[in-house]
Amino acid sequence: MDYGVVKLIHQSAVTLSFLGFLARGLGMMADSDWVRDRVARTLPHIIDTILLLSGVALALQLRLSPTAAPWLAAKLVGLAVYIGLGMVALRRGRTKRQRTVAWIAALLTFGYIVSVALAKDPLGFLALLRGAG
């Protein structure tokens, strides 16, 4: 498949994943019933699978490996942290306070992953500071 198309799929999945996680967190805080609906619980898995597979496809097409490209390794570590925090935020957190803190931390982690992808640097947005200093 054309590289540009795969990249567009990846970027679209990134946007949908972010918006979905944002909405489910807001629903969680508002105790909304829709958060427990079948669609609200299934759709994120489909979007996140597309996100992951398109990312792997991009890396393969660029012949990148996490051992040779530190920014890709940083993305994968970030992804693992995001998944863990997301589980605490939407499922495992025992109090609403715990879930909310995990949700905010997950959103910040997501922002870090995006900035790593844009900067192609494991420091992500922090690399901008290095440039300024």
Query: Binding ligand HEM by CB under 6 A: which of 46, 118, 126, 128?
Result: 118
Query: Binding ligand HEM by CB under 6 A: which of 75, 85, 90, 106?
Result: 75
- Is residue 35 a contact residue for ligand HEM (CB under 6 A)? no
Q: Which residues contact 118 (CB under 8 A, 6 or more apart)?
A: 124
Contact 41, 27 (CB under 8 A): no
Please give the Cα distance from 49 to 18 (Å, whole number). Answer: 14
- Is residue 114 a contact residue for ligand HEM (CB under 6 A)? yes
Of the candidate spans 23-31, 48-56, 90-98, 100-108, the one that interacts with ligand HEM by CB under 6 A turns out to be 48-56
- Is residue 117 a contact residue for ligand HEM (CB under 6 A)? yes
Q: Give the total residue count for the chain.
A: 133
Query: Binding ligand HEM by CB under 6 A: which of 11, 12, 32, 100?
Result: 11
Please give the Cα distance from 83 to 79 (Å, whole number). Answer: 6
Nearest to ligand HEM of 82, 103 (CB atom): 82
Please give the Cα distance from 72 to 122 (Å, whole number). Answer: 8
Residue 24 three-state SS? helix
Residues that bind ligand HEM (CB under 6 A): 7, 10-11, 14, 51-52, 55-56, 58-59, 62, 64, 75, 79, 82, 110, 113-114, 117-118
